[in-house]
Amino acid sequence: MDFEIQAHRGARSFFPENTLQAFCKAADLGVRVVELDLVVSKDHNIVVSHDPWLAAPLCSDPLGHPLSPEDRLHYRMYDMTYSDIAQYGCGLPHPSFPLQQPIASSKPLLSSLFTEVDAYMASEGMKWQLIYNLEIKSWPDKDWIFHPAPDLYAALVLRMVENAGLSDRVRIQSFDYRVVREAWKLNSQLCYGLLIDDMENMERFLPALGFKPRYVNPHVSLVDDKLTEYLHAQDIRMIPWTVNRKEEMLAMKHIGATGIITDFPELALALFDVQEEPSV
């Protein structure tokens, strides 16, 4: 298996995150797997967004005025229909990525993203198909505030994936083991992963899943020989996040990671010879 390069929220050094342009650019670079984030609207549409609100630095109001950081308190997407969400622009450059190009873009629907990215790749003569690594943004203390309860949330995401006919090209992951577990109960044939931000959570949440996921994806700072050996012994693949420095990329390859999730896929692709079509 080749070392896998996942474009974190798209080709983020070129275009604002989680936009159609960012994912099309990732495909242009030759990326085979893109990572993206999912939230849910009041009318139960699945929206591609890292945050469950509209606010600075990415978004502007319907008149084009940039929103402030405090607007996250006023524009929670779970309180808004998608038709309302779509009126807000979210293509402003992020200050952490000074080369990002500003674009006209609202928060896209997952269904539209699937269709439009695949259509773009076909129009450009690309012979491979992207794998979509879907992170469900869910928090145990935010049920019915930022999203529905895990069983309904999982059902909404899986219905979208299955309706799109992309079950064989999608991975489902989350920091919230509850929503991963509920998704697995609904369809055990999909590919699942658990995101980890500290070792205590892995020790608690991995057994609580009730099944063995194909992936455990830890923060890069958690990766060491002990963790790698443990996951390999369980036949669980490991793709750390967010691996942005050349030295970290090489270290993850050396230690035995399956791949990396990075904001700079162009840098990673220049380091590693990636030729195989990845599997879910």
The one-letter code for the residue type at 79 is D
Q: How many CB atoms lie within 10 A of CB 232?
A: 13
Domain boundaries, the chain: 4-52+93-271
Return mean pLDDT, the chain: 97
Q: Which CATH class is domain 4-52+93-271?
A: alpha beta
- Rounded-to-10 torsion of CA 268, 274, 277, 278: -50
Q: How many CB atoms lie within 10 A of CB 4?
A: 23
Instruction: Give the confidence band of 70 by pLDDT, cuts at 50, 70, 90.
Output: very high
- In the three-class reduction of DSSP (H, G, I as helix; E, B as strand; rest coil), residue 35 is classed as strand
Q: Is the peptide bond before 207 cis (omega within 30 degrees of 0)?
A: no
From CA 243, how far away is CA 8, in angstroms rounded? Answer: 9
Q: How many CB atoms lie within 10 A of CB 185?
A: 14
- pLDDT tens digits for range 171-218: 999 999 999 999 999 999 999 999 999 999 999 999 999 999 999 999
Under DSSP, the state recorded for 77 is G
Q: Is the pLDDT of residue 274 over 80?
A: no
The one-letter code for the residue type at 123 is S
- Provide the token pair at 280: 């879910």
Q: What is the largest CA-CA distance in the chain?
A: 55
> Quick one: what percent of the chain has pLDDT higher than 90?
96
Q: How many CA atoms lie within 13 A of 232 on its CB side?
A: 11
Give the model's pLDDT for residue 277: 77
Q: Is the pLDDT of residue 1 over 70?
A: no
- pLDDT tens digits for range 126-170: 999 999 999 999 999 999 999 999 999 999 999 999 999 999 999
* Nearest to 251, CA basis, from 266, 272, 237: 272
| pTM across the whole model | 0.97
Q: Is the pLDDT of residue 273 over 90?
A: no
- Provide the token pair at 101: 């190009």
